[in-house]
Chains A and B, each alone.
Chain A
Amino acid sequence: MMPMLEVKNIETYYGAVQALRGISFDVNEGEIVTLIGSNGAGKSTTLKSISGLAKVKTGSIFYKDKEISNRPPHETTLLGIAHVPEGRRIFGNLTVKENLLMGAFSVKGKQVIEERMEFVFGHFPRLKERLSQKGGTMSGGEQQMLAIGRALMMNPDVLMLDEPSMGLAPIIVEQIFEIILQLNKMGITILLVEQNAYQALSIAHRGYVIQNGSIVLSGKGTELIENDEIKEAYLA
């Protein structure tokens, strides 16, 4: 079986600065795959290259057997790839409801949008109580829930999450990871970027370690947790 998402030897630059130096990995349908690595390694750039926020200079990206490299982000999301960016990036001046509706921007039909919203409230009941509150006035954990909920409004096949645990209290991180697992069980393929390596590896089927714009290690989540190098560098 072909992988659902396949990244082949991509190199991405910011101006003259090379951020990715030939990254290759794949994600199969139904998997949770995690990319771990320290700050500045190139994790976010990898997700941006897939969604189209960053331009890939060489290499290619395939999604469901179609080449999607360098498509604009509003097109890749339409293909079913949702990208929850680092730092949540809630529209602070928009209400919770408006934020969710933006997630459903390309969705046709009031009925469908209502149903999706109920689906989101099923996972994040807190959002339902806050519908008319401005997104920017919510706590970090609530904003992360809104960011994920907003992405779910697209009904994605692949959900890419960039450091969803960043800056959150351990108990909230627990909840978020629990929800990621639930979403995966419902059939959503997950590509999870984390600095919080232990937690990410413990829920992931497979993981890749990025260092300096290259993949230096890969394997099953459970294997990587046991790996001595990883223990030393990321789980200390």
Chain B
Amino acid sequence: MLLEMFQTLPQVLIDGLTLGAVYAVVALGYTMVYGILQLINFAHGEIFMTGAFIGTALFIMIMGWGSAIPQILLLIIVLVITASITGFIGVGMERIAYRPLRNAPRLIPLITAIGISFVLQDVIRFIAELTSGNYIVTGPSLFSENINLKTSAISSVFNDASFKTSFLIVLTVAILLMITLDFFVNRTKWGTAMRAVALDRETAALMSINVNKVISITFFIGSALGGATGVLFALQYGTIDPYIGFILGLKAFIAAVLGGIGNIRGAMLGGIMLGVMEMFAAANLSLLTGGIFGAEYKDVFAFAILILVLIFKPEGLLGKPTAEKV
């Protein structure tokens, strides 16, 4: 049994890391907003979904003009445009829906967030049906060459692993986004201001920091990252619908909690872990349980581990027991 688990390990790691990187970047959006406002922005999953649709529309549009553009350049253009648009949607959402409720009881903005989720789902569905006649949309196939990794050459216990180029693209872009964000938060003036606002909003204001501006920037970055990840998701899976944000958003939120909500590196760690655990479960559950549970129980397995972690470390893996944030 152990041998079989080892055999699939290279493939599990590749698939798990890719999925985990997607969770991680989306989890950043939850954790940043929570860190600064103690608000669980449930609409963040829908920002991701909106990004997937905008990205797909852009792919179709730009490729319709002529296929002369190299794929990589096309991807960069689409990522930048989509991230900017979803970034501004996030800023607008905070400005219109959350800021007026800044001093309201916590439950109220939470319910508002759920409301915004429905609005975004319906708006996207409406636009998709209007333009393509169907709310399930399939984008062009990009980066679809297969790569074979001869992992059996490392050690004979491993099987070879194979994946589409798009996996590599998703993983690379997601990691680049995380490194850039980490640098921004820890090494720049505005990033430091963001941490200061998360720690103590009043005192930050006494440092001449415009707190509302910092909050807007936080929403912009979180939503831009979410939208960009939506593009990556669309790239990898091809077919999208207005409801993909719900379950993925939920999992990304759980990744944020797993890592310690409010903690940026925690969200990255939590996302990667959740992705790898999920893929591990998908590959091995039936093996481990003698066929009682199949791959479709992978979420149960991942959530069981989450619950275990939270029982022993309720503040999350990298969260501090004190009210440490960001």
Contact = CB atoms under 8 A, between A and B. Distances in A.
Interface of A: 51-53, 72-74, 77-78, 82-83, 85, 89, 91-94, 98, 101-103, 105-106, 150, 154
Given A98-B192, A102-B204, A105-B189, A92 B199 contact: yes
Interface string B96-139: 00000000000000000000000000000000000000000000
Contacts, number: 65
Main secondary structure, interface of B, reads helix
Given A101-B189, A106-B208, A154-B208, A85 B195 contact: no
A61 B205 CA distance: 19
Interface in B203-217: 203-211
Contact of A74 (B189, B196, B209): B209
Nearest to A89: B203
Contacts of B203: 85, 89, 91
B125 to A, nearest CB: 40
Interface residues of B, number: 20
4 tightest CB-CB pairs across the interface, nearest first?
A73-B205, A106-B208, A89-B203, A77-B208
Contacts of B325: 93
Contacts of B206: 51, 53, 73, 77, 82-83, 85
B211 A74 contact: yes
Interface string B291-326: 000000000000000000000000000000000111
A82 B207 CA distance: 8
Nearest to A78: B208
Contacts of A52: 205
Nearest to B186: A98
A105 B207 contact: yes
Nearest to B199: A91
B202 interface: yes
28 contacts: A53-B202, A53-B205, A53-B206, A72-B205, A73-B202, A73-B205, A74-B207, A74-B210, A77-B208, A78-B208, A82-B206, A83-B206, A85-B202, A85-B203, A89-B200, A91-B196, A91-B203, A91-B204, A92-B324, A93-B195, A94-B195, A94-B196, A98-B196, A102-B196, A102-B207, A105-B207, A106-B208, A150-B207
Contacts of B192: 94, 98, 101-102
Given A77-B206, A154-B208, A102 B324 contact: no
Contacts of B324: 92-93
Contacts of B208: 74, 77-78, 105-106, 154
A89 B202 CA distance: 9
A101 B199 CA distance: 15
A91 B195 contact: yes
A62 B208 CA distance: 19
Contacts of A78: 208
A150 B204 CA distance: 11
